[in-house]
Amino acid sequence: MVWLNTLIMSFDFSKLEGFDWDKGNLEHIKSHHVDYRECEEVFVNRPLRVNEDKKHSRTEQRLQVLGRTNNHRLFFITFTIRKNKIRVVSARDQNKKERREYEETKSNT
């Protein structure tokens, strides 16, 4: 079992069964020059910083993750869990503030 502890929450990814991709979310991340395989890499690489996205969690719980790809590209990903799968809502490169937060996570692990 893998628990990811952040300043905000703990989340158990070991119970999930993969990713939920369709035309809608694939086209959205492509607009940010992101490939779905890069998103999947972020969830297996460490460290990973997970926070709840309370602002956008009106109809379902949304989460945000700061992480890196195998090629060390730093991503900010918004996702939700549907039917035991990770559904990426949005993915983009981290901005300056997010990079600082991610660096803090790296130094605390």
User: What's the CA dihedral at 98, 100, 104, 109 to 10 degrees?
Assistant: 60
Q: What does R_g of the chain's alpha carbons equal in angstroms?
A: 13
Amino acid at 81: I
Mean pLDDT by 10 residues, the chain (109 residues): 44 85 97 98 92 77 94 97 95 97 85
For the chain, give the number of residues. Answer: 109
